Chains A and B, each alone.
Chain A
Amino acid sequence: MKEELEKLFGEALGNLKVAGEESQVTQVRTEFLGRKGKITALLRGLANVSPEQRPIVGRLANEIKLSLEEKIRESLASIQARKMKERLFHEKLDITLPGRRVPTGRKHPISEVCDEVIEIFLGLGFQISEGPEVESDYYNFEALNIPKDHPARDMHDTFYISDEVLLRTHTSPVQIRLMEKQEPPIQIIAPGKVFRCDSDVSHTPMFHQVEGLMVGDNITFGDLKGILTIFLHEMFGAKTKVRFRPSFFPFTEPSAEVDIACVMCQGNGCRVCSSSGWMEILGAGMVDPEVFRIVGYNPNEVVGFAFGLGIERIAMLKYGISDIRLFFENDMRFLGQF
């Protein structure tokens, strides 16, 4: 009987080896292990085996049955794996076809740069403040120490609505409006649109500025240099060279023009920087005591600084754009590149 068992086992394994389909494997199971299967049938004769031999044969039969079951499972698994592989192989995509792109829009480059500027100053503890785009002569000029019939008015080509009302030429009136309402300390930036009647490759009649104002009782020109240097390093890279040079604004004193090393030539001098190696990037200064007096602060007690920068100018430098008018043509071929 032992020999017969092993012979059947060998036969079953032989059948399994040639089975290529799942049905052929199950066929082997039915043929050998099923209720009417060959091994099952053989074991029915176990009763005829001598009592000494019976446990031995019984154990062997069990081992063979388990082993065969195992082989059948393995065989089934390998057939399934092979078939899965074949199926997946045929399901292959052309992965180089373009994806289902749902197009997204873009922020306008001016907003993009403006946000970047704002982000830096928020990080330095500044708050955002705003004011009207159409301003009175008082807020745009007089309260900023630019009286009527003062030559400093030549620095602004102004659009007028009436003798007293105009399109603001800078964001500085926001300083006045805020200081009139609020006591120091003040630490704000004011982004917004400004207007000058001027139009060519480097001027548009409307552009964007960010104004900054910091007022307290212990603020120095050195602090102004510090804050603006941090800003310019954040904006143009930590290695950017920055210089401050004397200038004039009626509402600040001392006043400064701030330059960075030309981003085109790294300071070696080129056409863009008219060979100076420097580019004007913002105007700044210590708030003029007269401005403090006008808003009702005590000029002997408070000090502060203010600054203003042009967003388009920064965007032009950052992206190497030479014609400012492109920003307001809103041509998708331009906007799509940001």
Chain B
Amino acid sequence: MRASLNWLKEFVDIDLTPVELADVLTMAGLEVESVIKIEEDLSHVVVGKVLSIKSHPNADKLSLCQVSIGDGTFPVVCGARNMKVGDKVPLALEGALLPNSMKIRKAGIRGELSEGMMCSEEELGIGEDSSGIMILEDDLVLGMDIVSALNLEDHIFDLNITPNRPDCLSIAGLAREVAAVTGKVLKIPSIEVREEDGRIHDLTSVDVRDPELCPRYSARLISDVAVGTSPFWIRRRLESVGVRPICNVVDVTNYVLMAFGQPLHAFDFDLLSEKRIVVKRAKDGDTFATLDRLERTLQGDALMICDGEKPVAIGGIMGGLNSEVSETTSNVLIESAYFDPSNIRKTSKKLGLQTEASYRFERGVDPEGVINALNITTQMIADLCDGKVAQGIIDQCPSPFLPKEITLSIRRINKILGTSLEKERVRRYLKAIELDNKNLDRDKLIVRVPPLRVDLNREIDLIEEVARLNGYDNIPTTTPLARVTSGRRSSAWVAEDKVKYVLISLGYYEVVNYSFISPKLITSLGVDANHPFHKFIRIKNPLSEEQSIMRTTLIPGLLRTMKTNVYNKNSDLKLFEIGTVFFPNKEDKLPIEKRMLSALVTGLRYVEAWNFSGDEIDYYDIKGSLENLFRALNIRGCNFSCAGDIPYLHPGKSSTIMIGDTQIGFLGEVHSEVLENHDLSKTAHIFEIDFDLLVKHAFSKKKINLLSKYPPIYRDMALIVKEDVQSRDIYDAIIGCNNSLVKEIQVFDVYEGEPIASGEKSLAYRIKYQSFKRTLTDQEVNKAHKKLVSKVLEDMGARIRL
């Protein structure tokens, strides 16, 4: 909300600087986001009075005026004709530099001397009116500089008013707070309405058919108004708080809205059928044209202000075109009401229409301020538009708004705040915010809260007021009484830390992608409609289609990250992400959330350097990373088996990752079609693992073997096998020999090509034999090895490579 300092000063004396005031308000919970100084550079422009107007002897369209500034009179040649003798006008004298860059100096105009210039609002840069000379209020002192005469210098405060404080959504409301925290007196004007002929009850009626949604509806009638432009000061005020002036009648309602926080509406009384008001709910599907010239479709719970036939306004939100005040209007009905906040909000949300009025009604206006605001508005319109106010006021308020009574315990205040405030001080704070109170007993007070303070309903609300007025800074800073607890991480957090640590030391960068992605990215993986990745959850109101579904896999995010970086010439990447994926849940309205660990590698293993060759990363790099990870997490029994049917992976270079019988994920080379879909030309390898399953198997108890005192003996065997034989099969065959002396098996060479025949390959193994009981002899190891080799040859249909 915007507030003008000049305006505030009408309601309360302020002797703080604008910056000090901003600080005081902020520390009282009314956060000032900025203070902007409004300055007008209008030196040498003063208040003048037109003494005479003669026609210019040499020019038909010009006139020759004498303008007095009190202690001097200046001849001024002028082209405008709207001023008359006796009018006060802004006079720019020699030396003035107007905002439109015009420099004023003495000059002869068609043979007549002109020593200054009378200005329009537009020429002064303070308004839009360029139709003629600005005519000033009659009571201004001659010769006074225009900036002080028109109070043009101001400070505009931009405040962030929290939803609990609708009472501060007005200049008077803010002034009440300023008065409370600075100890000054609040000056709210009371007004006496000068009523003339005609009694309102004879002229119109108000029938509130839904008092639940409209607990109070008041109205006054003004006849014979002259609709036109508002005086400068009203327009200036409205513009300073961001409201566009429209016409005097409407401007006054907006002025009172901004000043007192009560939304008002002016109807063209002659456009109301049967000259009466009926307040009732809309019919479902009714349409209605609002002042913003849009046709709105209504729902049954919208509260409508109607005349004898039809709706004329959406209650508390916006008036209708059919009863709009215009230049031809001469009689107006002014509405001042209190509407049910939550219903206003519902309707405003449904219509997607928020106005200054609805914003205040949905937060809660002061039901007791309704009449005062109506009277002020009425009298201002009568004064400014030469209208006549009908006698009496309509005030439909079936159940009165009573002050709330709340019991406040001083002990409770101190228990919650950690203070030792005394009762008298608390009472002082309550008095500062106009809350009457009396003693209930030694500890407790009974506090009366006016309906204006919609935020104060419970004891805790009053405790907050006490804390606020005491100043949070004056509440002692303490630490909780010591309890012996030790903060500990859950095992999932420990595992996550470990996983990150291992992957980072292996060269992987952690990335964080959005949890929502484009459905196109799922399609880009080449998975068919039945694939679980396609069972995604949609966001009803996404920012864009690109972020419209909850991810079911982290892979697209990693591919996107790869693309970003490849475009930025970083094509050697090792990335990982730990994040949530989402699937529909048959048992619950909330989806199934699974945490996944995914990684992507692409480009060179190491950047080529004088001591590193530039080899491309391959399947075995990412597999090695996983093996390292499993080792670090002490996961045993993990296994990689052929995947074959994962659409987004290369069928020959991919595998599933198993722990025992549980599949926890997959790894492999990204299918070239998927890369193409992402405009990527370089190959990449990925893995994705169910992180929760990984954690479940992590940190199995470690079993530490004794160390053998006896030396090991190593024997090699080089085999030639068919090319489709897998290393795992040979390993299993060796294990299948059940030789307890075999302690380690290592593949130390894999070879295909000359001189090995095509369709075959060679694998070489080094086997470690060792006993815990004695030193093995060469002879017995040779014997054992020979037996083992022949068994493997037989099992695998292999032969020895010579």
Contact = CB atoms under 8 A, between A and B. Distances in A.
Interface of A: 97-98, 100, 102-108, 110-111, 115, 121-128, 132-136, 149-152, 154-155, 159-162, 164-165, 167, 185, 187, 193, 195, 197, 199, 205-206, 214, 216, 218-223, 225-227, 229-230, 243-248, 253-257, 274, 276, 286, 288-289, 303, 327-333, 335-336
B416 A286 contact: yes
Nearest to B565: A332
A297 to B, nearest CB: 14
Contacts of A122: 487-489
A132 B574 CA distance: 29
A36 B28 CA distance: 112
Interface stretch (B192-200, B232-240, B608-616): B608-616
Contact of B480 (A100, A195, A219, A332): A219
B542 interface: yes
A333 B362 CA distance: 48
B164 to A, nearest CB: 5
Interface string B56-95: 0000000000000000000000000000000000000000
6 smallest A-B Cβ distances: which pairs?
Answer: A220-B418, A222-B418, A246-B29, A122-B487, A248-B162, A254-B464
A220 B162 contact: no
Contact of A247 (B22, B29, B475): B29
A255 B162 CA distance: 11
A110 B514 CA distance: 13
Contacts of B612: 100
Given A132-B590, A161-B537, A247-B31, A221 B418 contact: yes
Contacts of B550: 134, 161
Contacts of B112: none
Contacts of B419: 221-222
A123 B479 CA distance: 14
19 contacts: A98-B609, A105-B508, A127-B487, A132-B593, A151-B163, A193-B515, A221-B419, A222-B417, A222-B477, A223-B480, A246-B468, A247-B31, A248-B163, A253-B461, A254-B468, A254-B472, A276-B22, A327-B512, A330-B513
A225 B475 CA distance: 9
B537 A253 contact: no
Nearest to A193: B515
B486 to A, nearest CB: 7
Nearest to B460: A253
Contacts of B473: 243-244
Interface string B605-639: 01101111000000000000000000000000000
A170 to B, nearest CB: 15
Contact of A160 (B341, B345, B505, B541): B541
A151 B345 contact: yes
B21 interface: no
Given A151-B341, A256-B472, 10 more contacts: A103-B607, A108-B511, A159-B540, A218-B480, A221-B417, A222-B476, A248-B162, A254-B467, A286-B460, A332-B568
A137 B30 CA distance: 29
Contacts of B485: 125, 127, 187
B582 interface: yes
Contacts of B467: 221, 246, 254
Contact of B487 (A121, A132, A135, A159): A121
A255 B346 CA distance: 27
A123 B537 contact: no
Contacts of B582: 133-134
A210 B513 CA distance: 18
B294 to A, nearest CB: 22
B408 to A, nearest CB: 14
A236 B547 CA distance: 35
B483 A205 contact: no
Interface string B491-510: 00100010010011111111
Contacts of A104: 504-507
Contact of A128 (B490, B538, B568): B490
- Select the residue from B22, B162, B461, B485 with max chain A CB neighbours within 10 A: B162
A167 B591 CA distance: 11
A278 B471 CA distance: 17
- Select the residue from A155, A167, A225, A303 with max chain B CB neighbours within 10 A: A225
Contacts of A121: 487
B489 to A, nearest CB: 6
Contacts of A248: 29, 162-165
Contact of A195 (B163, B416, B511, B515): B515
Given A159-B539, A222-B419, A332 B570 contact: yes
B606 A103 contact: yes
B590 A134 contact: yes
Contacts of A289: 458, 460
A205 B539 CA distance: 12
Contact of A246 (B28, B480, B487): B28
Contacts of B593: 132-134
Contacts of B478: 220, 222-223, 225-226
A167 to B, nearest CB: 7
B487 A123 contact: yes
A274 B33 contact: yes
A335 B513 CA distance: 13
Interface string B208-243: 000000000000000000000000000000000000
B463 interface: yes
A165 B543 contact: no
A323 to B, nearest CB: 15
Interface string B507-548: 111111111100000000000000000000111111100010
Given A151-B163, A286-B416, A106 B26 contact: no
B561 interface: yes
B102 interface: no
B442 interface: no
Given A133-B580, A193-B580, A246-B472, A105 B345 contact: no
A150 B342 contact: yes
B481 interface: yes
Contacts of B342: 149-150
B681 interface: no
Contacts of A336: 509
Nearest to B609: A98
B589 A162 contact: yes
- Select the residue from A124, A214, A221 with max chain B CB neighbours within 10 A: A221
Interface in B428-472: 458, 460-461, 463-464, 467-468, 472
Interface in B575-593: 575-576, 580, 582, 589-591, 593
A252 B622 CA distance: 49
Given A110-B512, A187-B485, A244-B472, A216 B480 contact: yes
Contacts of B481: 218
Contact of B464 (A195, A206, A255): A255
Contact of A331 (B418, B516, B564, B607): B564
A249 to B, nearest CB: 9
Contact of A205 (B461, B514, B591): B514
A187 B461 CA distance: 25
B388 interface: no
Contacts of B164: 152, 248
Given A100-B612, A150-B342, A165-B590, A197 B163 contact: no
Contact of A220 (B417, B505, B511): B417
Contacts of A136: 589-590
Nearest to B573: A332
Nearest to B469: A246
B504 A164 contact: no
B54 interface: no
A289 B457 CA distance: 13
A185 B483 contact: yes
B34 interface: yes
B413 to A, nearest CB: 10
A314 B653 CA distance: 43
Contacts of B163: 150-152, 154-155, 248
